[in-house]
Structure 1
Amino acid sequence: MLGSINLAEFVKADKVFDFEKFEKTVRISVKALNEVLDEGLPLHPLQEQKDSVRDRRQIGLGIFGLADMLIKMELRYGSKDAIEICELIGLKMAYAAIDESSNLAEEFGIFPKYNRNAIMQSAYWRRHTSTDNRDRVLAFGMANSQLLTIAPTGSLSTMLGVSGGIEPIYANFYERKTESLHGRDEYYKVYTPIVKNYMEKFNLKDVSELPDYFVTAQTLDYHERIKMQSIWQKHIDASISSTVNVPNNFTVKQVEELYMYAWEKGLKGVTIFRDGCKRAGILTTPSKAGSAEKSVEQILPRGMIIKADDNCIGKKRTLTTGCGTLHCEAFFDQDTGDLLETYFSKGSQGNCNNFMIGLSRMISLSARGGIDIYSIVDQLKSCGSCPSYAVRSATKKDTSKGSCCPVAIGNALTDMYEEFINEINEDYDDIKPKSDKQSRKKNLMNPCPQCGEPLAFEGGCNICKSCGWSKCD
């Protein structure tokens, strides 16, 4: 059972963190999560799940809005002062959660799998109890085997307009594009709420005027990012969802150094995200020239064939050709929209059907080798006319659009591809070809399946800053 506390709400007018109010909130949250846990216990479909929840009573109280809190306190994320305040908050959170779980154990009893000796030997427990409550905790036990975790909180943070988990703010502003209002592509800035409020309050005209404590995921040094996670790791008894963003020019050697540094700082795990990777789909930020940066198209080395996994979406067309029915199936990558596989089969057996099987395999191989679908279709449409196709077109007039089977297949692939792209709300003006002989590039690699806006990769999960959709929910 998960729950999170918005740290940004505990900064007082004098830029001081309200520890008293925070401790009360932690205690209330622990009680609330235990009540929800009891309420949901009979709703689990499997007996094994019910047994596990009842025997261990695991809850996961966490935080979000950390970056907003630090900005309100005028502390730079990753700085020495920021690390020190997070140390105090994490310590207070763990202390209050353990103490309140002991209070619940006194009132309702310990969790069935409670082991007093294991608790006494736990370095985490000793570090987060004091002489004031240690004897009482040992006397009454604990109501929960797990108390704290930091989840991505993608939907929560987007809904409330604050940063997620322990992440820094992703960017000071994002680029949005509209064409419906002006009849043309027009880009405009959407500022992160705390940035927008600060700029309006102090009448700033550009983000370059912001104080130095407005740092973003792209500009933050990874050492500071890992230091922040390591501080919270000391006070969290379960897991932390967190992503270290690195630039596109980050080398293999630097990745190795990052992982080693994370290990040295005692992290249980670390996720890195390199800008410009194939499954990027991150929100666009302005380039040095001032225009919006487009997602980088993945270019495969010559001879490299990617694998078509099960994570793809299929489309089907039934075509009528000069020889009868032709079944045409195409499968697309649901994240990038790329064509991955095709399957063609005739209603009859023989050489014509064998040709279709061979053609489908060659198209699949070309697509997985990095050839875009419009270059493939261009080659298919270069085929001539089939006598059987021409006769049936003239007599029965029921053939699919084309002059032969390959041409009809090309038209079907184009139709299925554009239908698929339309379903994931990609911008049609960017995907329509200027001519049949021109290949096209996609403008968006990973759109939100709910609203079509670009996704951001934060806290180990793809989230939408526009509508709050999260792949982890």
Structure 2
Amino acid sequence: MKQEEPLPAGGSCLLGSINLAEFATPHGFNFDDFRKTVHIATIGLNEVLDEGLPLHPLQEQRDSVRDWRQIGLGIFGLADLLIKMGVKYGSPEAIDLCDMIGHAMADEALKTSALLAKEYGPYPKYNPEAVEQSAYYSKNALGETKQLVKEYGLRNSQLLTIAPTGTLSTMLGVSGGIEPIFANYYTRKTESLKGHDEYYKVYTPIVKDYMEKNNLKDDSELPDYFVTAQTLDYKNRIYMQSIWQTHIDASISSTVNVPNNFTVEQVEGLYMTAWEAGLKGVTIFRDGCKRAGILTTSDSKKDDETSEKHKTTLSRGMIIKADDNCVGKKRTLQTGCGTLHCEAFFDPDTGELLETYLSKGSSGGCNQFMIGLSRMISLAARGGIDIYSIIDQLKSSGTCPSYAVRTATKHDTSKGSCCPVAIGNALIDMYKEMQDEISDDSEEIIDTPKQSKKKIVANATSSKCPQCGGNLVFEGGCNTCKDCGWSKCD
């Protein structure tokens, strides 16, 4: 809502989300129960805001929360709702339904905030003229709500936002935010169960439930309203976000997934469409980026075989040179014979290991042995041996008596059973750190006319989940792990 002065950048906003899929009935969307839920959620967020207000560390933060009282109630599970109701995502029927749901949500949130203002007073920075003249308020507040706001004001300067819901949606097995389902199924690969690569489909919960209820054998038999992020026309995707933006007084976190062959001209068209539709921001993710990881819509191992052929390989006996622009990292290890310094240098583009330097920080142990070991590790790395194979050999070195004694007596040794094992653990730790840095650096922010908040993510390196080690999928404006539910935005 329009204010006389802007909301402070340091303000705090409490977030909460409602699962729309739970309001689908055989007779349509249950607006009565939905309004009751919005009412309860708005009150609940205000109560949590009051509880947490004195806990903010800075006085500036406490003042901001007190003066503006920002909350952010949102939704998720929209795609599941539409599938349950047999409505195609992005269709005129879907846009009309979202318009009605969003309007009901905004009106009920405004009404509840006005009733809270009646009991506790409006937020200190409340400006009645500015609020009543705002286009958002005029569009979303109905007659009764407008009367309550005119009489009592509003308890909150901000009420609605659609935040990333990666963890919530994965935990409940529904779609995130206002996005379509990412895919009807994922192709997973196992190497350990049968002694060879085995590929199998893992269906999205809403797809699996439908197929079981209707005795379908394959997802090709699904009706056409099972739309996925990869098959949806981007303009319909933009129009869906646009209709929600008219009912959301803050912002929307959402990702437009586009196919691998999406051109620069099409990207420009997408941004212009988003700008013309009134979006505050839009994020694009192109299929095929390395960050896609273990979750893929491929039906067979053909894609894996093709990608393997295009990998750069070294001829037997060929050793590449480590340039001066390597990125170095260092770990100081405590071994059975004293301090050991481990330095590793990585390729700045791929993050692959190129060289290592090992040196003893004390008189104990054999420094010449460490020099020889570091040279052999470096030679193997520059000869095309992947770091995991090198680490596997280092970890097969067994147990050193000196290491074991110091571990048992002083409990200060680095992780491992001997110097080579400790070095292997340090190298893999630095390697993963390097890969994370490359992943973070590979996000290109591209400003477009009149929309500085828009961005496109491209050429991303595969990113691992810090919680379970699985690969991440970029959706909902955030990296999310489909294996454990971890989300970078939570």
- Report TM bin, short chain: 0.7 to 0.9
- Measured in 2, the distance between the counterparts of 1:294 and 1:38 equals 57
The SS at the match of 2:47 is helix
1:204 aligns with 2:216: yes
Partner of 1:84: 96
Mapped partners of 1:313, 1:193: distance in 2: 43
Q: Which residue type is aligned with residue 20 of structure 2?
A: L
Aligned residue identity for 1:171 = A
Residues 317-353 of structure 1, C-alpha deviations (whole Å, 9 max, x = no match): 6999xxx9983322679998644897777879xxxxx
TM-superposed deviation, 1:50? 1.1
- Give the superposition deviation at 1:171: 0.9
| 2:471 partner letter | P
For the Cα contact (< 8 Å) 1:316–1:330, is it kept in 2?
no
Task: Give the aligned partner of residue 191 of structure 1.
Answer: 203
Determine which of 464, 468, 471 is the counterpart of 2:485: 468
Kept in 1: contact 2:54–2:62 (CA 8 A): yes
Separation in 1, partners of 2:422, 2:113: 62
Q: Within the alignment, does 1:230 sit opposite 2:247 as a pair?
A: no
Say if 1:335 and 1:446, in contact at 8 Å, map to a contact too. no
3-state SS, counterpart of residue 474 of structure 2: strand
Taking a change above 3 Å as real, the CA distance of residues 306 and 181 of structure 1, as seen in their structure-2 partners, is farther
Aligned amino acid, residue 469 of structure 1: W
- Residue 78 of structure 1 and its aligned partner are, at CA, apart by 0.5
**Residue 17 in 1 paired to residue 29 in 2?**
yes
Q: For the structure 1 residues 241 and 282, does the alpha-carbon distance in structure 2 shift closer, same or farther, using more than 3 Å as the test?
A: farther
Matched position secondary structure for 1:132: helix
Per-residue deviation at 1:39? 1.0
**Contact kept in structure 1, 2:352 and 2:431, CA below 8 Å:** no
How far apart, in 1, do the equivalents of 2:50 and 2:349 lie? Answer: 38
CA distance change for structure 1 residues 271 and 296 in 2, over 3 Å: closer, same or farther? farther
Q: Partner amino acid for 1:375?
A: G
The aligned amino acid for 2:463 is N
Q: 1:283 aligns with which of 291, 295, 311?
A: 295
Per-residue Cα deviation, 1:390-424 (whole angstroms, up to 9, x for no partner): xxxxxxxx9xxxxxxxxxxx999877545667999
SS at 2:293's partner residue? Answer: coil
Cα distance in 2, alignment partners of residues 341 and 45 from structure 1:
45
Over 3 Å counting, the alpha-carbon distance change for 1:206 and 1:375 in structure 2 is same
| CA gap 1:220/1:314 in 2 versus in 1, 3 angstroms | farther
The CA deviation at 1:135 is 2.6
Q: Distance in 2 between matches of 1:123 and 1:460?
A: 27
Of the three residues 216, 229, 252, the one matched with 1:217 is 229
The letter for the 2-side match of 1:55 is D
Post-superposition CA distance 1:339-371 (Å, at most 9, x none): 4897777879xxxxxxx9xx99xx9xxxxxxx9
Q: Contact 1:104–1:142 (CA<8 Å) still a contact in 2?
A: yes
Partner deviation per Cα, 1:19-65 (whole Å, 9 max, x = no partner): 11111111111001101111111221111111111111000000000
Among 253, 261, 268, the alignment partner of 1:249 is 261
Aligned to 1:75, what secondary structure does the other structure show? coil
Q: Name the counterpart of 2:17.
A: 4
> One-letter code of the match for 2:483?
S
Instruction: Establish whether residue 450 from structure 1 lines up as the match of residue 450 from structure 2.
Output: no
Q: 2:345 matched to 1:328? A: no
Letter in 1 for 2:271: Y
Q: For residues 295-325 of structure 1, what are the alpha-carbon distances to aligned partners after superposition, in whole Å with 9 as ceiling and x for unaligned?
A: 969989xxxx99989xx986556999xxx99
The CA distance in 1 between the partners of 2:329 and 2:230, in whole Å, is: 32
- Counterparts of 1:275-424 in structure 2, within 5 Å, are 275-281=287-293, 283-287=295-299, 289=300, 291=302, 293=304, 315=331, 327-330=341-344, 338-339=352-353, 373-375=381-383, 416-418=426-428
| Deviation larger for 31-40 or 336-345 | 336-345
CA contact (8 A) 2:331 2:341 kept: no
Aligned equivalents of 1:307 and 1:270: distance in 2?
Answer: 36
SS of the equivalent of 1:238 reads coil
- Between the aligned partners of 1:57 and 1:74, the Cα distance in structure 2 is 39
Alignment deviations for residues 188-220 of structure 1 (CA, whole Å, 9 cap, x no partner): 221110000000011111110100011111111
The alpha-carbon distance between structure 1 residues 98 and 230, as it changes in their structure 2 partners (threshold 3 A), is same
**CA-CA distance at 1:187 after TM superposition:** 2.2
Alignment of structure 1 residues 419-434 onto 2, 5 Å: none
Please, which moves more after superposition, 339-348 or 5-14? 339-348
What secondary structure, in the 3-state scheme, does the structure 2 residue paired with 1:62 have? strand
- The percentage of aligned residue pairs carrying the same residue is 64
Matches within 5 A, 1:161-176: 161-176=173-188
Q: Is the 8 A contact 2:253 2:477 kept in 1?
A: yes
Match of 1:90, SS state, is: helix
TM-aligned CA distance change 1:193 to 1:177, over 3 Å? same
Go from structure 1 to structure 2 and tell me whether the alpha carbon gap of 1:207 and 1:116 turns closer, same or farther (over 3 Å shift). same
Deviations along 1:425-448, one digit per CA (max 9) or x if unpaired, are xxxxxxxxxxxxxxxxxxx93232
How has the CA–CA distance of structure 1 residues 373 and 54 changed in structure 2, closer, same or farther, with 3 Å as cutoff?
farther
Deviation, structure 1 residue 285: 1.8
SS at match of 1:147: strand
Structure 1 residue corresponding to 2:113, chosen from 81, 101, 110: 101
Q: For residue 80 of structure 2, what is the aligned residue in structure 1?
A: 68
Residues 355 and 382 in structure 2, CA contact (< 8 A), matched pair in contact too = no
* In structure 1, distance between residues paired with 2:135 and 2:17: 25
TM-score w.r.t. the length of structure 1 is 0.74
Residues 50 and 415 of structure 1, relative CA distance in 2, 3 Å threshold: closer
Q: Deviations over 1:225-272 (max 9, x none)?
A: 111100100100001000001122212121111111110111000000
Higher mean Cα deviation, 100-109 or 460-469? 460-469
- Change in Cα spacing, 1:121 to 1:338, as seen in structure 2 (3 Å) is farther
The one-letter amino acid of 1:445's match is: S
Evaluate the alpha carbon distance shift between residue 372 and residue 226 of structure 1 in structure 2; reply closer, same or farther with a 3 A threshold. Answer: farther
Work out whether residues 185 and 202 of structure 2, in 8 Å CA contact, stay in contact via their aligned partners in 1. Answer: yes
Consecutive unaligned residues of structure 2, counting only runs of 5 or more, are 1-13, 313-322, 363-370, 387-401, 403-419, 435-460
Q: Tell me which residue corresponds to 1:156.
A: 168
Q: Which runs of 5 or more structure 1 residues have no equivalent in the other structure?
A: 349-355, 364-370, 379-397, 399-409, 425-443
> Which residue of structure 2 aligns with residue 405 of structure 1?
none
What residue identity is the alignment partner of 2:344?
Answer: A
Partner of 1:43: 55
Q: Give the Cα–Cα distance (whole angstroms) in 1 for the partners of residues 109 and 342 of structure 2.
A: 59
- What value does the CA root-mean-square deviation take over the aligned residues? 4.0
Would the alpha carbon gap of residues 282 and 215 (structure 1) be closer, same or farther in structure 2, given more than 3 Å must change? farther
**Amino acid paired to 2:257:** N
